């Protein structure tokens, strides 16, 4: 009943959404409807993005994150422009047509430095999309990065509920600014991604419903979603990881509410279960983001403990995903993987 409502594009009552996320839901039915919805628009095609974690310096101290400024045990690194370009070239040869440059909030990267890097990458790969995932910046900065050629921007909103947001972050990081940045990013013209963790300490189903409402308001092109996983050098080291089951339900609900949304089956999911990314596809995800960072730096970009694939080459990882996807009737495509414009279908 509720599933039909979602499919019809009707925003349900908060209580209805909560009951859908609760454990007595018929998951099989929910996941099947979600994956059929993805199939309707994207067929059996899965998009890939090559993730390049180019700096683990961060000026922030988010309570959940392993690369927070206060983690003095962590050895910090920055990749050189040449190392980043090499990652892109390797990725290109493997069939990647989107590169995601991700880092902590590293003040070293001025607009000038970033714009020069963006131009270099776009010049060598004009047929590729470039995504930035480098945190909160000024509107002026976002504009400059867009003008330099960046196509997309990922900034997880982390928690739409303002009280919950404040329990996860130090005072200087505000939910208002986070949301303001996202609105600016979208207005400037980036394909925009927000997202949040499932199972952060203190999170309730009601908070998740607020995330779903926020996503409806923002209308992003992408939503990244994964379980919270504790990291031993953070304040939240003793909290349990988020539930895989709940992640899958949230993912499926998102798919039903936003049929053409780009939804990655995240690496954090596979930390909970080797097959969780495949389960994610079966619940409506349509993107996978393998790591293209040099293996030598992977262990230094641990946002959480037991992060997967820190020692496997992108090529190897890609073959593994490809084999698993084939078994369930999906295939990876060589494409920028832009969001489908529903008006054109
Ligand atoms: N567990 C799961 N995800 C995390 N992230 C940061 N720390 C953790 C953690 N401990 C997520 C945040 C961030 C993204 C890059 O990684 O949502 O936006």
The rounded percent of the chain whose pLDDT value lies above 70 is 99
- Check if 236 has its Cβ closer than 6 Å to any atom of ligand 1: no
pLDDT of residue 104: 98
CB 104 within 8 A of CB 301: no
Hey, what's the torsion of the CAs at 231, 290, 139, 166, to 10 degrees?
A: -20
Residue 8 CA to ligand 1 center (angstroms) comes to 32
Q: Which two tokens stand for residue 106?
A: 């590293």
- In short, whether 231's Cβ falls inside 6 Å of ligand 1 is yes
Ligand 1: nearest atom to the Cα of 155:
18
- Do the Cβ atoms of 63 and 169 come closer than 8 Å? yes
Measured in Å, residue 55 CA sits from the centre of ligand 1 at 15
255-264 average pLDDT score:
97
> What secondary structure letter does DSSP report for 22?
S
Q: What percent of the chain has pLDDT over 90?
A: 92
DSSP three-state, residue 184: helix
Which letter, b or e, does each residue of 27-41 get, where b requires 16 or more Cβ atoms within 10 Å of its Cβ? eeebbbbbbebbeee
pTM: 0.97
Q: Specify the residue with its C-alpha closest to ligand 1, atom 7.
A: 65
Residue 239 half-sphere exposure, CB side, CA atoms within 13 Å?
23
Counting ligand 1 atoms within 8 A of each CB, the residue from 164, 197, 272 with the most, and so the one to mutate, is 197
For the chain, list the domains and their CATH numbers. Answer: 19-332 (3.20.20.70)
Q: Are the CB atoms for 304 and 231 separated by under 8 Å?
A: yes
Query: Distance between CA atoms of 131 and 334, rounded to whole angstroms?
Result: 17
Query: In ligand 1, which atom is closest to the CA atom of 236?
Result: 10
Q: For position 23, what pLDDT does the model report?
A: 77
Distances (CA, A) of 114 to 35, 53, 100, 241: 38, 14, 13, 35
Report how far ligand 1's centroid is from the alpha carbon of 25 (Å): 27
Work out which ligand 1 atom sits closest to the CA atom of 304. 10
Q: What is the mean pLDDT of the chain?
A: 96
Atom of ligand 1 nearest to the CA of 158: 17
CA angle (291 as vertex; 105, 293 as ends), nearest 5: 65
161 pocket-lining for ligand 1 (C-beta < 6 Å): no
The predicted-structure confidence for 7-21, as pLDDT tens digits, reads as follows 888 888 999 999 999
Strand partners, 288: 48
């Amino acid at each position: 009943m509720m599933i039909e409502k979602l499919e019809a594009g009707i925003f349900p009552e908060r209580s209805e959404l909560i009951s859908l996320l609760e454990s007595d839901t018929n998951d099989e039915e929910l996941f099947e409807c979600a994956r059929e919805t993805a199939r309707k628009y994207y067929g059996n095609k899965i998009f890939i993005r090559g993730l390049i974690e180019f700096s683990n310096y961060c000026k922030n101290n988010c309570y959940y994150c392993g690369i927070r400024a206060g983690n003095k045990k962590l050895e910090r690194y920055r990749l050189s422009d040449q190392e980043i370009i090499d990652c892109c070239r390797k990725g290109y040869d493997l069939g990647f047509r989107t590169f995601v440059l991700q880092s902590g909030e590293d003040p070293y990267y001025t607009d000038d430095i970033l714009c020069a890097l963006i131009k270099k990458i776009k010049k060598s790969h004009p047929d590729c999309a470039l995504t930035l995932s480098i945190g909160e910046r000024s509107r002026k900065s976002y504009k400059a990065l867009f003008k330099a050629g960046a196509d997309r921007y990922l900034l997880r909103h982390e928690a739409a509920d303002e009280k919950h947001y404040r329990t996860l972050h130090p005072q200087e990081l505000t939910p208002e600014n986070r949301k303001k940045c996202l609105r600016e990013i979208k207005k400037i013209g980036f394909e925009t991604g927000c997202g949040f963790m499932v199972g952060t300490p203190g999170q309730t189903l009601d908070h998740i419903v607020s995330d779903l409402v926020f996503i409806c308001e923002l209308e992003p092109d992408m939503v990244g979603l994964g379980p919270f996983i504790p990291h031993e050098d953070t304040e939240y080291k003793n909290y349990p990881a988020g539930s895989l089951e709940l992640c899958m339900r949230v993912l499926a609900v998102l798919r039903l509410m936003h049929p053409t949304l780009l939804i990655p089956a995240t690496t954090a999911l596979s930390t909970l279960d080797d097959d969780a990314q495949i389960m994610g596809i079966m619940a409506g995800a349509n993107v996978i983001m393998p790591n293209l960072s040099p293996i030598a730096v992977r262990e230094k970009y641990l946002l959480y403990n037991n992060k997967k694939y820190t020692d496997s080459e992108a090529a190897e990882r890609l073959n593994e995903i490809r084999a698993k996807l084939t078994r369930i009737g999906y295939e990876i495509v060589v494409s920028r993987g832009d969001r489908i414009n529903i008006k054109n279908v």
